[in-house]
Structure 1
Amino acid sequence: MRIAVCGGVYSNPWALRAFIDDARRNHADRLYCLGDLGGYGAEPDAVWPLLTGNDVICVAGNYDVAIASGAEDCGCGYRDPRDQEYAEMMYDFTLRTTNRRFAAWMGTLRTERREKLDGCDVHFVHGSTTGLNDFWWESLPEAEHRRRVEASGADVIMCTHSGLPWIKRIGDCLVVNVGVIGRPANDGDRRVRYALVDIDDGVARARIIRLHYDWRSHAEALRRAKFPEAFARTVTTGWWTTCLEVLPTRERAKGRFHLYDSSVPRLLEPLGLGEDAWPDPDPSIPVRSLWGSPLLPDHIWYTRPPIGVDDLTEAAAGCAISHVRPSDGHSPVMRYIGEARRPLPELTLTDQGWSWHPRLTSEPPFLAHPAEIPPLAAFVDAARSGAVEVLLEELQAQNLLLPPNYCAG
């Protein structure tokens, strides 16, 4: 048996239609949707006939439960004021424009589903096995993964809600976060994701499918409905410009944007800097990248690099880094943030790995070199993401940024 499973339709009928067509082309025997039919999009009613007319088996997400009951909010649990503002705006629009017959249909959906498929016990949930709006991130500690698996006991667990797909075997259980089809996965790719799962005599194998759809029409509908540009920009670029709060540091560091404009004054104050030290590069969206900021300059220093300097310079240029210099005799002074006196990073390449600062190369690198150097652009990008992750962890530890909220319940 082959099943196709999507999540997070988010009022995006163009992506839902593409999912149905692609699943049929891939000879899926059954199609499933794991909920959150509204939100983030401008056409909620257009998804209902596509679901019912193509026998898509649905479970309810937190958005669907809220819309069905006419609740005051989506139950997303955002704490950041900007995320909460956007969530309220989108929820109010969805509640107002969703046909009440569609809303009543959502109210008939179960919030989880369990089926025996070709010898496999498959558990379909929205957030996780422990909560409807629980964010089941790939980067969670192993104990947190096991806790969610043990709460189910199924052979296969299918989930969504977090928006980022992954596949992981935890003990004897195959867990598949199918991602969402309503918006991209914060990796610069406009395509959306769903999962194909093959089940044969009790054994399941899964893969994540990247799905092309008419993103231009989706973005145009958002703009026509007069939503803030941030919503359409995610669709047109593949990078999240909202919902940053929920992302753990590892997942957030892989994106282009890492924090909200509103966070900037609080981050600059310990450095004795005013807001003019970090001009807003794009006022049409409310988010910024740490990379190239006063907290993480777009510099690469090197000493005993494992690759040629010309190759390093070329790879850095591919990542929009023009400052590549030897550290000997040119090392910048160390700047610190917060009471813990953690130095701010100046990305430094040595023969051992990527160091935090040219003056700290005697310490173990924060990112050691792999056995084989990957393609150079990916080599530099991994270091940049690693530095952002460590910096985000430090900023959260010093209460300068909100830590992620794994479960809104």
Structure 2
Amino acid sequence: MRELPTLHPTGPLFVIGGPYGNYDATLAALDEAARRGVHDILCTGDLVAYCADAAETVALLRASGAAIVAGNVEQQLAAEADDCGCGFEEGSACDALSARWWQHALASIDTETRAWMGSLPTRIDVQWHHTRFSAIHGGAREISKFLFASDKDEIFATELDLLGTDGVIAGHCGLPFVRELYDGRIWLNAGAVGMPANDGTPRVWCAQLTPQGDQIEIETIALDYDPYPAAKRMRAAGLPEGYAAALISGLWPSLDVLPPAERAATGYPITPLRRVY
């Protein structure tokens, strides 16, 4: 059995979710970590997806030294699979759109990079003093499981029970949120840096965890960058217009994956959070 990778940050941890092949936004996130003086960086996977700069984004993150959890996209690219394994309902708009960007991703990622993706862990633990978090992509056992802020406590509790840690750092759903369960355990989704959060703004999202004694301060970070060059490159590559437009409008082209509460929040700007747990 492969030994569980574990990070032991001496200070804050900067979290990047869903780069999605958006080189400009990923670079902006790494620059923000540097501006904050944070050296420990974690990525929750799906380095490649909707945007045009797949190979460049992967190379940037590899060079950064970030710890990277495998997302479903990394697993599928490593296997040279026919689809992204995103968990979209068959026949949905998201499913149809993904077929187009998936072909671009397959053509962009070389053999060596696919082998590297296949070596990535599906879980990385993070230990501060007596507090331990697990970084995963989607769910504890289902890599493409969607979990949203409106889901019941019992759903998060079941996932956390499988991991046996005090909290989770996750990705996949594309929306930033923090859930504190009835027993004090935490579920953090850092959101995505590669695509806005369907809140009607072009901002993208990352997060920072900072130890404070036996507690952890969690901050969700709204990041401003110039989305126009990335959108232009998407259009030049023939990628779906809905996602290129979303970089600028902040509105997703399809809401298929969203529960009712998250659908109702479409177009309402999300407020960044900063709180000690």
Q: Give CA deviations for 1:6-61 in whole Å, capped at 9, x if unaligned.
A: 11110011111111110111122300001001111111000122112221110100
Q: Is the CA contact (8 Å cut-off) linking 2:44 and 2:71 kept in structure 1?
A: yes
- Which letter maps to 2:180? R
- Distance in 2, matches of 1:81 and 1:184, equals 20
> After the TM superposition, which residues 240-279 of structure 1 pair with which residues of structure 2 at under 5 Å, given as runs?
240-242=252-254, 244-256=255-267
- Out of 191, 196, 220, the residue aligned to residue 179 of structure 1 is 191
What is the deviation of 1:144? 1.2
1:119 deviates by: 3.1
Choose from 101, 118, 122 the match for 1:90: 101
**1:233 aligned residue:** 245
Superposition deviation, residue 115 in structure 1: 2.9
| 2:177 maps to amino acid | W
Q: CA deviation at 1:128?
A: 2.2
The answer to whether the aligner puts 1:47 opposite 2:54 as a matched pair is: no
Letter of the structure 2 residue corresponding to residue 74 of structure 1: C
Pairing 1:132–2:143 present: yes
Q: Percent identity?
A: 30
| Structure 1 unpaired stretches of 5+ | 257-377, 382-409
Q: Spell out, residue by residue over 1:162-214, the C-alpha distance to the aligned partner (whole angstroms, 9 max, x if none).
A: 00010121122122111010100000110100011111333112010011122
8 A contact 1:119–1:201 mirrored in 2: no
1:13 maps to 23
Cross-structure match for 1:143: 154
Pair 1:56-2:57 in alignment: no
Cα distance in structure 1, aligned partners of 2:138 and 2:87: 13
1:36 and 2:46 matched: yes
Moved more, 96-105 or 64-73: 96-105
Cα pair 1:120 1:199 within 8 Å, conserved:
no
SS in 2 for 1:209: strand
Could you tell me which amino acid in structure 2 is paired with residue 216 of structure 1?
Y
Aligned to 2:130: 119
Q: Which residue of 47, 71, 83 corresponds with 2:81?
A: 71
Distance, in Å, in 1 between the alignment partners of 2:121 and 2:52 is 25
The alpha-carbon distance between structure 1 residues 118 and 29, as it changes in their structure 2 partners (threshold 3 A), is farther
The SS at the match of 1:195 is strand
Structural mapping, 1:324-339, within 5 Å: none
With normalisation by structure 2, the TM-score equals: 0.88
SS at match of 2:87: coil
Aligned pairs, number? 257
Between structure 1 and structure 2, the one with the greater Rg is 1
Q: CA RMSD in A?
A: 1.6
State the AA in 1 paired with 2:191: G
C-alpha distance in 2 between matches for 1:106 and 1:35: 10
Please report how far the alpha carbon of residue 2 of structure 1 lies from its aligned counterpart in structure 2 after TM superposition: 0.4
Question: Could you give the per-residue CA deviations for residues 74-125 of structure 1, whole angstroms, max 9, x where no partner exists?
Answer: 1123224422211111111101111222121111100111132333212100
Q: 2:101 touches 2:240 (CA, 8 Å); kept in 1?
A: no
1:106 — aligned with what?
117
Give the 3-state SS of the residue equivalent to 1:175 in structure 2.
strand
How many Å separate the matches in 2 of 1:237 and 1:73? 27
- Using CA pairs below 8 Å that are at least 6 residues apart, which structure has the higher relative contact order? 2
Shift of 1:68: 1.0
Structure 1 position 204 matched with structure 2 position 216:
yes
Structure 1 CA distance for aligned equivalents of residues 137 and 240 of structure 2:
27
2:163 partner SS: coil
TM-score (norm 1): 0.61
